[in-house]
Structure 1
Amino acid sequence: MESNQTKPGLLCNPEASQRTLYPYVTGTSVVALKYKDGILMAADMGGSYGSTLRYKSVERMKPIGKHSLLGASGEISDFQELLCYLDELSLYDNMWDDGNSLGPKEVHNYLTRVMYNRRNKFNPLWNSLVLGGVKKGQKYLGMASMIGVNFEDNHVATGFGNHLARPILRDEWHENLTFEEGVKLLEKCMRVLLYRDRSAVNKLQISKITEEGVTISQPYSLKTFWGFSAFENPTLGAEGSW
């Protein structure tokens, strides 16, 4: 019987037994959109140990090569495993030294194949991934689920963001968004998620990727309001008999 404990070796050592039988430390939603000059992506920095908000400084967005930006929700250790795979892919790509490099579409296709392959082995990576990038003036934004389901769109979200952020994006997104408008729209989505998602924390980062490269902001908090007038007058606006 195969042991579930990790054997000594490198993170990507194929001889090691590394199986996530159940997600333990997880991150919540990632929200991303296209704007006029590139891609904007937002994620908070919470890491939940079960239902406990255990970690408050988990970075879940990473640059991949020269042209791509990856964000992930779900199991943090599986995200680290994926980053190891992508490091090996980038190293192999650079070894050709042919003046070309992998674009966001190629990286996204690779990730969907990895997720689908692991799903078929009944050993999935417990993540939902968002991959955005810009290469030769072409903006690209797509997502991939833990079972390999994938698509491209002008705006994407994972986790609770699919239910709470996408309706906002459908109403307010347009293709000529400026950087400031895009950041404001993402902050609106993240504020709604903070209010409604118990796994969200008020410490987030927003990343952008353009032809010039990737920029990830320093962590910051959103202004929030937790007042509720009904506490002062619970019958205010009520109709009918009690």
Structure 2
Amino acid sequence: MNHLPQAWGRPRDDYYGAYDASYFQSNGPNQHTQQPIVTGTSVVALKFKDGVVIAADNLASYGSLARFTDVKRLRTFADTSVVGFGGDVSDMQYLDRLLNSLDTEEAYTSSGHTLNARNLHIYLSKVLYKRRSDFNPLWNQVLVAGLDEEKKPFLASADLLGTTFSAPSLATGFGAHLAQPLLRKVAPDEEAAATLSKEQALEAVKESMKVLFYRDARSMDKYSIAVVTKEGIDLKENEKLENQSWAFADQIRGYGTQVN
């Protein structure tokens, strides 16, 4: 072995020949990510008469292991929009860098305008569709919340196939099954959403996060929540659902030593 400090662990060039990693090369096809590894679960969002409420917990799971407990999955854009990411965390970080670059570019344009939530959603859907067409998808579903060009509440989704849709309430992951029924009770259509107050929307979203914490094994009780209105973005990244979330369990018959 070559024991000189600048080449520790390498074979000696004068004895074995120049170090060459060509044997690592493969004649097989290029391979892309086949499945997400570290993932975030649900993002939930709800329109109200003055804006949009969006929330996501701060857990990133390594398979079934609750590995990273401080991963923020809501990202602000140009003080006009919030993007919530579900799915693969590394792809979320890639999209975050892409949005930061776009934000910087927009900030230095001479027009003085920036992308609103509708523009941002179209941009992200094109990025996701392009990657899907390259057979190298970004394993995410994103929710874009904010205001459109007419300053009206805007909420839309885009997934790894580039599929897009909009609704008064949206959710990713298990939230699409567990949270959406609760949100649709509050805002079954656009007309109902247009009558909701900020307080009602916040209560509905927080209740949905509570249900997800109890019912979804890939969620936790610490979450981020943002409210987007004409006044700007109010983002809180370390909210807690309850202090004693499972305190009721010892009162359930059959739990532990409780038999009566």
TM range (shorter): 0.7 to 0.9
* TM-score, normalization by structure 2: 0.79
Q: Deviation of residue 2 (structure 1)?
A: 7.4
Contact 2:118 2:147 (C-alpha < 8 Å) held by counterparts:
no
Structure-2 separation of matches of 1:123 and 1:2: 19
Match of 2:160 among 135, 146, 153: 146
Number of the residue aligned with 2:170: 156
2:87 pairs with one of 74, 88, 105:
74
C-alpha separation in 1, matches of 2:130 and 2:32: 14
State the alpha-carbon separation in 2 of the partners of residues 2 and 72 from structure 1. 34
Aligned 8 A contact 1:93 1:101 in 2: yes
- Sort the Cα spacing of 1:52 and 1:106 in 2 relative to 1 into closer, same or farther, 3 A: same
Q: CA deviation at 1:60?
A: 0.2
Q: Does residue 1:229 correspond to 2:242, yes or no? A: no
Structure 1 SS opposite 2:238: coil
Kindly provide the amino acid, as one letter, of the partner of residue 105 in structure 2: Y
Look up the equivalent residue of 1:45 and give its one-letter code: N
* Mapping 1:44-123, distance limit 5 Å: 44-123=57-136
Find the aligned partners of 1:210 and 1:100 in 2 and give their Cα distance: 18
Name the CA distance, whole Å, in 2 between partners of 1:107 and 1:154: 18
Residue 204 of structure 2 is matched in structure 1 by 185
Amino acid at match of 1:129: V
Contact 1:142–1:156 (8 Å) recurs in 2 = yes
Identity %: 36
CA distance in 1, matches of 2:239, 2:118: 30
Q: Hey, what does 1:215 align to over in structure 2?
A: 234
Cα offsets for 1:125-151 (capped at 9, x unmatched): 011100011244211100111111110
Distance in 1 between residues matched to 2:153 and 2:199, nearest whole Å: 18
User: AA paired with 1:172?
Assistant: V
SS at 1:219's partner residue?
A: strand
| TM-superposed deviation, 1:214 | 1.3
Instruction: Please say if residues 132 and 141 of structure 1, whose CA atoms lie closer than 8 Å, have aligned partners that are also in contact.
Output: yes
Shift of 1:235: 11
1:130 counterpart = 2:143: yes
Unmatched runs of 5 consecutive residues or more in structure 2: 1-24
Contact 2:144 2:156 in 1 (8 A): yes
- The CA distance in 2 between the partners of 1:20 and 1:203, in whole Å, is 29
SS of the residue corresponding to residue 106 of structure 1 reads helix
Unaligned runs of 5+ in 1: 4-16, 237-242
CA contact (8 A) 1:20 1:78 kept: no
Matches within 5 A, 1:3-14: none
Report the alpha carbon displacement of residue 188 of structure 1 after superposing the two structures with TM: 1.0
Could you tell me the TM-score, scaled by structure 1's length? 0.84
Give 1:222 shift.
1.4
Aligned-residue offset at 1:19: 5.0
- Equivalent positions of 1:163-202 (< 5 A) are 163-173=177-187, 174-175=192-193, 176-202=195-221
**3-state SS of 2:239 partner:** coil
**Aligned residue in 1 for 2:21:** none
Equivalents in 1 of 2:114, 2:124: separation in Å? 16
The ranges of structure 1 where at least 4 consecutive aligned residues each deviate by more than 4 angstroms after the TM superposition are none
Q: CA deviation at 1:24?
A: 1.5
- Could you tell me how far 1:18 is from its partner in structure 2? 10
Distance 2:108 2:32 in 1: 30
Larger Rg: 2
RMSD after superposition = 2.5
Q: Does the residue aligned with 2:213 lie in a helix, a strand or coil? A: helix
Query: What is the Cα deviation at residue 160 of structure 1?
Result: 0.3
Amino acid at match of 2:178: L
